[in-house]
Structure 1
Amino acid sequence: MISLIKRPIKHKFAIISFTISSLFLSGCASKINEEQHQQLLESFIERADVASSLSGMDESNWWHQFDSPQLNQLVNLALVKNHDLKTSQLQLKSMLARLGAQKAEYLPQGNITVSAERSSLAETITSQSSANIGVDWQIDLFGRVTALVDAANASAMSKAEQLRLLKVEIVSSVVKGYISYQGNLENELIISQQIEALKQSIDVLKARVDEGVANELDLNRTKAQLSQQQALLPAIKYAQYRDLSTLALLTGQFTNEMMLTEKTGFLSSDLAVEIADPNNAIALRPDINQALFNFSQAYSLSVAASKALLPNISISGFAGVLGLNNTRLVDTQQQWQVTPQLEWSLLSYPALIAQKDAQQFLSEAAYSAYQQVVLKAINESELSLQFLIKQTNQHSYAQARFKHANNAFLQAQAMYQEGQIPYLELLDARQDVLIAEKNNIDTSISSLIAKVSTYQAFNGHWSQQLITEH
């Protein structure tokens, strides 16, 4: 069994920061217990058997193994034009702007005021002008502003991880949709071939019935099989349209704009599932990182709520000039004022304590949610491996079944031509081949989708490349 993250947890945060350096996010949301975080992950892995034998090459751009330029183009198009992705990117930019606004709280705030006044009272006209600079500086003596900055930073980091998670889902969905579409095209081809073969058989049987060599039962059984195969075509056509609609939505297009072609032998593609570092690929999953930053944000807000119980120290002041009896700032007099201020909300203590307790509970809830996400990620990874084994075995059996059914049909054809078996037995053999061939295609589709789901579960490394490349 492979243990998770033998390197220090600080290396993990360095990787996360690097992946979104293009977004000007540096560092991680601080004030969390990194040692506790590392111990939690390792304790979960010690009780789990995740990918103990799954290791190999770097999984970056794993969908290139299909050797399909059309699929690669769809993935690239989805990463550029998907509207959900654009929405998430804009939301991330908004959070980065809010982070910048929160960091500005470290600096003095103020304004510049220029005014001129002219008034009349009892036929006496007076004029006055002034120009002032007002400054208000809240001194972060007890760290409340720092805690709010940490919370804003964690919120932005969480959104960045959500963006990475969305890219994982989009890429996986595009590949799955393309596999399904190619599978349905192959299903349609096979059904069409079978329909043509049955029509030819019906023509032969009609002639033999007319000659008195065959009976109406054989002819009607063949017509029944023909109708059964023809009834499958509308469902196949709808499935193809559904796949196109899914791919169109993922790539930001209308369904009638999708122009996909059949790739012969696509279902036979040898998609190997190889993960360079399976356990680390779980630890770096964006959903785990997102939950971690959500906890960090809640913790920082809890710290800020605690700091609200302490005095608030600020310095305010202004400097300017005052012009009496003129509106043009001439013959002015200088004026200034500095006001240190200590504000302590002692009478609001009951409300502040309640707010602190509420935020503390939210912080504990966020940590519990983080634990649940870690556990879910490990279970999901294990389940994806079991599903992969199941689908691989089923596909192997389906291939063997089709091989044997096809051999039986060829034997039945030869025996029928020699008059050793009746035509109904030949029809039964043909039906067995149809069922086995359809099952072989369906298990091929399911096997490939299971492999994609495995890459989707172990996405920690290849999803980071999506951030750096797109």
Structure 2
Amino acid sequence: MSNGRRLSILLPLSASIMLSACASVGPDSSPPSPPPLPSAAFPTDFGARPAGLMPGAVEAEWWQSFDDPALTSLIQRAWAANHEIGLAAARLEEARAMLRESRQEFLPQGGVGVGHENRRRSEVETAPGQSRRSEIYRGALDASWEIDLFGRVRRASEAAQAQAGVREALLRDVQASVAAAVAATWFELSGLDAELSVVADITQSQRESLRVVEGLVEAGSANALDRLRAEAALRAVEVVGPELERRRTVAFNALAILLGETPQTFAAPASSIARQTLEVRSITVGDPAALLGRRPDIEAAELSLAAATAHIGVETAGLYPQIEVQGSIGVVAGSLASTGGSSALSSVLAPLLRWSFLDIGRVRARIAASEARAREALIRYDQTVLRALEETDNAFGAFSTAGNALQLRFQEATATQQAADLARAQFSHGEGIYLDVLDAERADFASRRALVVARTNQRLAIVSIYKALGGGWVTCTRAEVDCTGASGVSDGRFPGFVPGP
């Protein structure tokens, strides 16, 4: 090839390459404007400041505030074996693989081809004096490279990168949800154990009361109606146990599934009822605006919008020509021995322009569909932020209500227990009537159960706050924590989740 001819090809190609470095059709992605978030000082925009909430540094491993080693162990076991985490991890690995594939589009494509042709032509195909048999050996290195003049490849890579970010954010969201679900289920299970303990205690007390009444009936100090009332009170307490056992079984099975185990083989640690405190906890929530800004579901929605925006550019590039350079270098010879000679060398350099101008209508339809998907992603982002604000406001309200209820329930339980003790003492000394004892014991039983439920509700409210704010989640930043889920897949970076400030 002459120098002039080579320059006539290379110069336009060089110009195209330079243009491809600065041109990308379609809109550029930019972070959407979220609805107004709470101020940085404190969540006053969420309503009145709930008692017990402090604006200090957020607890990273929030479950440590409960001083429950069993809960910490359960969360780590769930991260290592939960199937939802395993599925999310597999989806992340798929997205990362697709991202690596999309980046290969920037590089030339091709490979090596080797062939041998042994052909016998007919007499009609063969010129006079030539042999009817021919043999050709071919070997070549073929390559093609798309010059990304209008940014189709770059936009596709942007979309793939955003989609990988979506999967990573969704993985963190699943991990956070699993941790919260484990904590909530564990607290429910512990609360049911505490209720069953109350039922057992009250049952024993009612049996003793029944024996006392039966003795008084034999002595003539009480009548048969008192005995029937005492027996009815005992049965009313005993009947509560089976329903609590059923609910405990449901919670136990749910916890087993969260940890990736069957209920038949799962062994839950013993709940530490004796160590459960009754005081209202104070927890730190950090900066709600910053915490909401890094909720995994909000991040995933924002990245989904970025991916949808990049896809508009991919489809818009279909309106313009696609430029590709194809090349080949190799040997073509009539015998295997001749392939090493210079006369067998063969090369091709072929710029190629493709422009499907007859498909413009189809391309514009695909662009319109991509734009609609981008609008849908924007609406979904706004909806995700609004739901996050709703969850946060509900969580703050639930915590405030739970704290007030726990204080009142504790005062109620103290009063009813003293009243029951006083009523029994008076009746045993011949003062008062047994109906007063029954009423006092019934109130004592109800208030003690209500106190256990109030304590469980407060702990569930704490979990809801951390989950709503997206704060405090620590996953795989430490080597001793296994967060691979049921799939057991990890690449050393997975999932790259950093705790908040």
Pairing 1:31–2:28 present: yes
User: Of 405, 415, 427, which aligns to 1:416?
Assistant: 427
Bigger CA drift: 109-118 or 253-262? 253-262
Q: Could you say which residue in structure 2 is the equivalent of 1:8?
A: none
Shift of 1:206: 2.2
1:63 and 1:72 in contact (8 A); partners too = yes
Q: Could you say which residue in structure 1 is the equivalent of 2:66?
A: 66
Distance in 1 (CA, whole Å) between partners of 2:248 and 2:109 is 60
2:210 and 2:227 in contact (8 A); partners too = yes
1:388 and 1:447 in contact (8 A); partners too = yes
Shift of 1:200: 2.0
Q: 1:192 to 1:241 in 2, by over 3 A?
A: same
**Correspondences of 1:245-324 after superposition (within 5 Å):** 245-256=253-264, 257-268=266-277, 271-324=281-334
Pairing 1:459–2:470 present: yes
Q: 1:230 to 1:439 in 2, by over 3 A?
A: same
Pairing 1:109–2:120 present: no
Post-superposition Cα deviations, 1:144-203, rounded to whole Å, max 9, x if no partner, equal: 110010000000001110011111101111111111111111111111111122222222
Q: Could you say which residue in structure 2 is the equivalent of 1:24?
A: none
Distance in 2 (CA, whole Å) between partners of 1:73 and 1:31 is 45
Pairing 1:206–2:209 present: no
Shift of 1:415: 2.0
Shift of 1:52: 7.8
Q: Could you say which residue in structure 2 is the equivalent of 1:55?
A: 55
Post-superposition Cα deviations, 1:101-150, rounded to whole Å, max 9, x if no partner, equal: 00100011112111223344579543322111111111001111100100
Distance in 1 (CA, whole Å) between partners of 2:274 and 2:288 is 30
Shift of 1:224: 1.1
Query: Could you say what secondary structure the match of 1:468 adopts?
Result: coil
Q: Could you say which residue in structure 1 is the equivalent of 2:385?
A: 374
Q: Could you say which residue in structure 1 is the equivalent of 2:118?
A: 118
Code of the residue aligned with 2:65 in structure 1: it is Q
Query: Could you say what secondary structure the match of 2:346 adopts?
Result: strand
Q: Could you say which residue in structure 1 is the equivalent of 2:491?
A: none
Post-superposition Cα deviations, 1:381-418, rounded to whole Å, max 9, x if no partner, equal: 11110111112112222112111111211221222123
Code of the residue aligned with 2:315 in structure 1: it is A
Q: Could you say which residue in structure 2 is the equivalent of 1:85?
A: 85
Distance in 2 (CA, whole Å) between partners of 1:82 and 1:114 is 50
Shift of 1:327: 8.4
1:56 and 1:276 in contact (8 A); partners too = yes
Code of the residue aligned with 2:410 in structure 1: it is Q
Q: 1:412 to 1:207 in 2, by over 3 A?
A: closer
Alpha-carbon RMSD across the aligned residues, in angstroms, is 2.2
Pairing 1:449–2:457 present: no
Query: Could you say what secondary structure the match of 2:212 adopts?
Result: helix
Code of the residue aligned with 2:477 in structure 1: it is T
Q: Could you say which residue in structure 2 is the equivalent of 1:393?
A: 404
Shift of 1:303: 1.5
Code of the residue aligned with 2:360 in structure 1: it is Y
Q: Could you say which residue in structure 2 is the equivalent of 1:404?
A: 415
1:302 and 1:356 in contact (8 A); partners too = yes
Q: Could you say which residue in structure 2 is the equivalent of 1:134?
A: 142
Pairing 1:158–2:154 present: no
Code of the residue aligned with 2:89 in structure 1: it is Q
TM-score by length of 2: 0.82
Q: Could you say which residue in structure 1 is the equivalent of 2:345?
A: 334
Report 1 or 2 for greater relative contact order, CA contacts < 8 Å, sequence distance ≥ 6.
Answer: 2
Shift of 1:75: 0.7
Distance in 1 (CA, whole Å) between partners of 2:88 and 2:308 is 21
Pairing 1:41–2:37 present: no
Code of the residue aligned with 2:250 in structure 1: it is R
Aligned-residue sequence identity (percent) comes to: 23
Code of the residue aligned with 2:234 in structure 1: it is L
Query: Could you say what secondary structure the match of 1:134 adopts?
Result: strand
Distance in 1 (CA, whole Å) between partners of 2:47 and 2:167 is 29
Shift of 1:70: 1.1
Q: Which ranges of structure 1 fall in alignment gaps of 5 or more residues?
A: 1-29
Distance in 2 (CA, whole Å) between partners of 1:450 and 1:358 is 43
Post-superposition Cα deviations, 1:253-304, rounded to whole Å, max 9, x if no partner, equal: 1223223213033442664321222221111111111110000000000121
Code of the residue aligned with 1:309 in structure 2: it is L
Query: Could you say what secondary structure the match of 1:43 adopts?
Result: coil
Distance in 1 (CA, whole Å) between partners of 2:351 and 2:365 is 29
Query: Could you say what secondary structure the match of 1:41 adopts?
Result: coil
Query: Could you say what secondary structure the match of 2:470 adopts?
Result: coil
Q: 1:337 to 1:242 in 2, by over 3 A?
A: same
Code of the residue aligned with 1:82 in structure 2: it is N
Q: Could you say which residue in structure 1 is the equivalent of 2:10?
A: none
1:144 and 1:303 in contact (8 A); partners too = yes
Distance in 1 (CA, whole Å) between partners of 2:336 and 2:444 is 103
Bigger CA drift: 274-283 or 206-215? 206-215
Bigger CA drift: 326-335 or 52-61? 326-335
Q: 1:51 to 1:304 in 2, by over 3 A?
A: farther
Code of the residue aligned with 2:251 in structure 1: it is D
Distance in 1 (CA, whole Å) between partners of 2:114 and 2:364 is 43
Post-superposition Cα deviations, 1:33-60, rounded to whole Å, max 9, x if no partner, equal: 24xx3xx336344798048854123320
